[in-house]
Structures are given as structure tokens and as C-alpha cells.
């Protein structure tokens, strides 16, 4: 039996199953549903539950200290951090290192901000280029693009307002994964839901989308 389950019985017609970001499973079921039937449903959906939990767990990152030698990701590759004291502050990627030039090497908040700003600038450049490229296929108006920290999603789309949100953490993933998320959200401008038509369209123009999605989820 799957652990951390909350069962709610109330006046509803169908059984619904939800996994929260903390890994807790919530089952809402009609009042007359037997415990045996609920257990059967959980067993049947165990694989789906575990995949959801793995997805949410992929956003739980160890708190970095921002000291030389730590590992940082960028476009699917790992780079060692090198903290260098300097009056001129900046972040550079060179010779296999992510170098932080900072006035005070012990100022954690400043180092965090410098790296975040660097990631943001890179995300802005790469995401925009990929959006432009794939919008040649979708050919939809995009009124606003936001890049931000997102706890449980790689991206989201508001098809009614033509807004697209992208998780800044994507800039750490391989380009093929970024392309998958961007294209996925762009297709929602045509098909708002995850309908058969949505997946058919996705498969026609990105035949390996499932492989890309699998890589993204595996990397966390």
C-alpha cells in the first residue's frame, strides 16, 4: 500500500486521486465506497503515483553554499564553481568552470543573486530563441512571456490571454528538453487541454517528445 494517504469520503459521484507536492496522496470518494475498493484503486495507480512523486521530488534541491568546487548545471552539463574575489562583480562560464567574481567571497546572498541573474539572462536568450523557432510551426500570438521560479511545473500557458510561463530551472537542462517544454506550452495556444488532438499535434511536429520528456524527468 502506498504511504501518506488521506481519504476523504463525501457527496461526490466519482473517485478522484491527487498527489500533492509533499508526496501526500489525497483520495476523494463517494461516501458508500468501501475501503477495499479504495485500496484496489491505489494499487492500480501505484506506478502513476510514484511518477508524480518523483516529478515533485525533482524540484527539491540541496541548499548550495556557493563555494569553490560545488557543482552547477547549465544546458545539461555540469560545471565546477570557482569563486574569485574582485572589485568588478560578474559571472562567467569559461574553461569548464562557472566563475563568480565578487567583492566579498563570504557574502552568500550576493553570490546567490549574481548566479540567479546570470541564469536569468541566459534563460531569456535561449528561451526566446527557441520560442521564436517553434512558433514558426504553431503560428500563434504570444502576448507575454514570463521566466520565473516554479515549484511544481516546468512551464504553463494561459491560452485565453496568450501568456506563457517558463521555469528558470529549465536553463540547467539539455536544449532538447527546453525545446520540448516550450513547444508543449506553445501547442496549448491551439489546444488548451491535454486532448487527443493536442498529443497528435505534438507527435506530428516533435515525434520524439516522449523521449525528451523522459530525459527531463530523469534528470530532475
> Is residue 63 in a domain?
no
Q: 169: domain range?
A: 121-219
Is residue 187 over pLDDT 80?
yes
Note the pLDDT of residue 58: 60
CB atoms within 10 A of CB 61: 9
- Residue 49 and residue 126 share a domain: no
CATH number, domain of 136, equals 3.30.2010.10
Residue 41 is assigned to a structural domain of this protein: yes
Confirm whether 53 is domain-assigned: yes
Smallest Cα–Cα separation from 157: which of 186, 177, 130, 134?
Answer: 186
Is 208 a domain residue?
yes
The pLDDT of residue 218: 84
Residue 12 confidence class, pLDDT cut points 50, 70, 90? confident
For residue 135, what pLDDT is reported? 95
Q: What is the pLDDT of residue 23?
A: 78
Q: Where are the alpha helices (DSSP H) in 11-145?
A: 35-44, 46-57, 108-138
Same domain? 130 vs 215: yes
Amino acid 166: pLDDT: 97
Nine cell digits for residue 89: 562583480
pLDDT of residue 41: 87
> Which of 57, 74, 91 is a domain's end point?
57
The model's pLDDT over 28-78, given as tens digits with 9 standing for 90+, comes to: 999 899 989 888 988 888 888 888 777 766 655 457 899 999 999 999 999
Give the per-residue pLDDT at 173. 96
The pLDDT value recorded for residue 62 is: 55
Asked whether the predicted pLDDT for residue 103 surpasses 70, the reply is: yes
> In this predicted model, what pLDDT tens digit does every residue of 119-133 receive, in sequence order?
999 999 999 999 999
Residue 156, in any domain of the structure: yes
What's the total number of domains in the chain? 2
Q: How many CB atoms lie within 10 A of CB 141?
A: 7
Query: Within a domain: residue 96?
Result: no
Q: What is the pLDDT of residue 5?
A: 84
For residue 21, is pLDDT > 80?
no
Over residues 157-166, the pLDDT tens digits come to: 999 999 999 9
Say yes or no: 215 and 125 in one domain.
Answer: yes
DSSP string covering 142-210: --EEEEE--SS-SEEEETTTTEEEEEGGGGGS-HHHHHHHHHHHHHTTT--S--HHHHHHHHHH-TTHH
Percent of the chain clearing pLDDT 90 (strictly above) = 65
Q: What is the reported pLDDT for 51? A: 82
Same domain, 128 and 213: yes
Residue 30 DSSP one-character state: E
Same domain as 130, residue 53: no
User: Which of 26, 41, 57 represents a domain boundary (last residue)?
Assistant: 57
Kindly state whether residue 79 falls inside one of the protein's structural domains. no
Kindly state whether residue 77 falls inside one of the protein's structural domains. no
Q: What is the mean pLDDT of the chain?
A: 90
Amino acid at each position: 500500500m502506498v504511504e501518506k494517504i488521506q481519504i476523504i469520503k463525501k457527496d461526490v459521484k466519482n473517485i478522484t486521486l491527487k498527489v500533492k507536492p509533499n508526496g501526500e496522496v489525497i483520495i476523494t470518494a463517494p461516501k458508500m465506497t468501501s475501503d477495499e475498493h479504495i485500496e484496489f484503486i491505489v494499487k492500480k495507480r501505484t506506478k502513476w503515483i510514484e511518477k508524480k512523486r518523483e516529478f515533485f521530488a525533482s524540484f527539491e534541491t540541496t541548499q548550495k553554499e556557493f563555494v569553490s568546487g560545488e557543482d552547477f548545471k547549465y544546458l545539461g552539463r555540469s560545471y565546477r564553481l570557482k569563486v574569485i574575489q574582485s572589485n568588478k562583480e560578474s559571472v562567467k562560464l569559461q574553461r569548464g568552470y562557472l566563475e563568480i567574481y565578487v567583492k566579498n567571497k563570504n557574502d552568500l546572498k550576493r553570490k546567490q543573486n549574481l548566479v540567479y541573474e546570470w541564469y536569468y539572462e541566459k534563460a531569456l536568450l535561449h528561451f526566446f530563441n527557441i520560442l521564436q523557432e517553434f512558433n514558426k510551426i504553431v503560428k500563434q500570438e504570444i502576448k507575454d512571456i514570463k521566466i520565473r521560479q516554479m515549484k511544481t511545473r516546468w512551464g504553463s500557458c494561459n491560452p485565453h490571454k496568450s501568456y506563457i510561463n517558463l521555469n528558470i530551472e529549465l536553463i540547467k537542462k539539455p536544449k532538447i528538453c527546453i525545446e520540448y517544454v516550450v513547444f508543449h506550452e506553445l501547442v496549448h495556444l491551439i489546444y488548451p487541454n491535454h486532448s487527443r488532438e493536442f498529443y497528435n499535434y505534438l507527435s506530428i511536429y516533435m515525434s520524439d517528445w516522449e523521449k525528451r520528456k523522459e530525459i527531463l524527468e530523469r534528470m530532475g
